[in-house]
Structure 1
Amino acid sequence: MKFKNYPWVTALFISSCIYMRKPPVIIASPSGLYNLKIELNENAADRAKFHCIRLEVHNQKFELIDTLQTSASNTMKWAVDWWPGKDTIVICSRDIGNQAYYLNAKNKLVAIAAIPNLNRVGEAILEKKYDQ
């Protein structure tokens, strides 16, 4: 027996996998000074960033401080969290690797070029997200 709806079943499966990875809405920083909002870029105008992870940092009053559009695709495994005990954001993604960001004195997210133990922390947050 041939299965005529095979393309529809495949499309349904793929789309459900994409939406199963919906990120948490807000993660408070260890100090409590900031809130990290993680969203997917739904703007299809820039195909390179479509369905990639976008980060928004808000203050305690949920006023927007800064936004960062990453290249981490939602089609790959990824996780974002604060560095344990620090107000540093860590991204672990199977397509872009591990990255870390902090807010500078002008409240702009700045990439940290080299940070000890970044891979270990990145893998730990990825494991926390997917091994629950």
Structure 2
Amino acid sequence: MLKKLLLGAIALSLTNCLVLNPLGATIDREKGSVAAGRITDAAIQTDLVNSTLLAGRASISILSLLAGDIANIESDKYYVKADVDKCVDEITGFKGFVLGSLITNIISCQDLKSDGYVTGDPFPSL
């Protein structure tokens, strides 16, 4: 009886991951459109602060509006929330203010990979 219960629990947890990860329904995943929006917002915020401190007036570059595309975020895929948080923190942090949002985006956000069993790693996209 205990063996059946244990096997049932393992099967349930595996099917839970197989279903919920690709759908983005787990807590630690974030849809690409949301991740791209957060990265773009961080780049705009960094540009506004930098331009205000350096030039005395607020302005943003067109590249800040394309920050999600520069980070190669695909809106229909899902990404690990902790990786996106790290990217956003680096853009809005000290590195972002010293190097600028574009260079920080290129350095820090290029390693974001899609996550899930159907839509990305560890298996190829369908």
TM-score scaled by length of structure 2: 0.30
- Structure that is richer in strand per residue: 1
TM-score scaled by length of structure 1: 0.29
| Structure of greater relative contact order (alpha carbons < 8 Å, 6+ residues apart) | 2
